[in-house]
Amino acid sequence: MIQGFRDFILRGNVIELAIAVVIGSAFTALVGAFTTNIISPVLAAAGGVDASGWGFPVRPGNDATFVDIGALVTAIITFLITAAVVYFLFVVPMNRANARLRSLSASQEPEEEPTPVDIALLTEMRDLLKEISARDARP
């Protein structure tokens, strides 16, 4: 039971997933700081004279009913930046490394070419003819 657990933990996918979670959480903090300190002020400045940014109140005078479109745009930008960095820094290099490993393993182990159907049939016919002639040759 412990051997199975160890095999599961040491399997490449689990370790890669753990690394991705740690790096992803650290990167999320970085992107969050970027969007909070750079993107959000720019969106708020583009929203107009009042500092509320992009958005509108459902009930005027009630701040609890403010629909903050700037926060949604900020979240979308945060997601796109995070996804792009994860793709270009992790997924693309990993795919290239896997392709290289596959090509190296393929070049080291030559595959056996499958026997063509006609040759396989001729071989069976030859073996059957030898067997028949061996039976007929017995007295």
Note the pLDDT of residue 48. 52
Note the pLDDT of residue 126. 92
Note the pLDDT of residue 62. 81
Note the pLDDT of residue 12. 62
Residues paired with 66 in a beta bridge: 57
* Secondary structure (DSSP) of 88-115: IIIIHHHHHHHHHHHHHHHHHSPPPPPP
End-to-end CA separation in angstroms for the chain = 63
Neighbours of 69 (CB within 10 A): 14
Note the pLDDT of residue 110. 63
Note the pLDDT of residue 68. 80
pTM above 0.75, yes or no: no
Residues in the chain where the model's pLDDT stays below 50: 49, 51
